Amino acid sequence: MYHSLNLPNETIGFRTHEKVIGTLVDIHVVGKQYVHSHDYYWDGMKRNDKNTFIFQYTLSGEGAVFIEGKTHKVQQGQGFMLEVPGEHIYYLPSHSHHWEFIFLTLRGQAAADCWRYVNRKVGPIINIPIESALIEQVVNVYELAFKKNLIDHYFASSKAYQFVMECYRYFKSFKAKEQMPDTITQAINFINKNYKASFSVQDVATNINLSKYYFIKLFKESMNMTPGQYITKVRLEQAINLLSHTELTVKEIAMQVGYGDDNYFNKAFRKVVGTSPGEFRRSKHLPFDRLIIQ
């Protein structure tokens, strides 16, 4: 995925003169931009686009979104999902030197249902690791569009639908935003951003100023899994991605996903996946390219 992010910046629109039958969601625009002018300013009530749904994800720098009477920072590893028309404004704030982002704008009922679902669950600003399958979907659409490989409207629609389904998959374990305590949101953000480092459940609890016991109880009530299970899930999903797509040794991968001891990494991997990291990499018969740990 990372080499695709080195593609030149471009905004690519999709239109068709043909009568299209049967699509549930369509790509309207996809692009990657590096903004440094403070003239960058979009008001959701003053756009020509109508009935469109924007997903925008920060690669570097910082942007801002004003919505529901509050200004939110949109920093690296964060994104937003907004509906147009809508009462929101997003822009490059005066203190930010630049905002680099990738975005996907969709149309159709499937997009409308998905955007409203995500906003009910987690709100307009979302934290997503760049290594996640959700961001990989957006990058893949951009690469296909940039290289002119979205061969027709129906193929493009299928890619849009894949992204919508990945949104549902990614956010399904999150409780609704009114039920998700701020401390648990902070804990998830901490884990997603720091999984490469070595830290314990106690370290996460300390970071959010909770006792370890209460943190574990609250996390399990909110996420339907313990914080230890969530840490393992994040680390092993990244390990599987590295095993599948890099030549790094098992020991190097263990270090990159927060396991200082490769023997412990091997045990944790085997317990969840059912095979050792080395066997997973060597196998030619696994019925998947990527394994999602639930």
**Are residue 152 and residue 253 in the same domain, yes or no?**
no
**Are residue 130 and residue 229 in the same domain, yes or no?**
no
Would 190 be classed as within a structural domain? yes
What is the distance between the alpha carbons of residues 163 and 142, in angstroms, rounded to a whole number? 12
**Are residue 67 and residue 130 in the same domain, yes or no?**
yes
**Are residue 105 and residue 250 in the same domain, yes or no?**
no
**Are residue 156 and residue 109 in the same domain, yes or no?**
yes
Domain boundary among 171, 200, 219: 171
Would 278 be classed as within a structural domain? yes
Q: Report CA 289 to chain centroid distance, whole Å.
A: 19
Q: Which amino acid is at 24?
A: L
Residue 241's Cβ-side half-sphere holds a number of Cα atoms within 13 Å equal to 17
Q: Where are the beta strands (DSSP E) in the chain?
A: 10-13, 26-35, 41-43, 52-67, 70-75, 78-84, 88-91, 99-107, 125-127
- Expressed as residue numbers, the domain containing 163 is 2-171
**Exposed e or buried b for every residue in 37-69, given b needs 16+ CB within 10 A?**
eeeeebebeeeeeeebbbbbbbbebbbbbbbee
**Are residue 16 and residue 153 in the same domain, yes or no?**
yes
The tens place of each residue's pLDDT in the chain, 294 residues long, gives 555 688 999 999 987 656 667 788 999 999 999 999 999 999 999 988 889 999 999 999 999 999 988 899 999 999 999 999 999 999 999 999 999 999 999 999 999 999 999 988 888 889 898 988 899 999 999 999 999 998 888 899 999 999 999 999 888 877 665 567 889 989 999 999 999 998 999 999 999 999 999 999 899 888 878 999 999 989 998 898 888 888 899 999 999 999 988 899 999 998 888 888 988 888 744 444 445 455
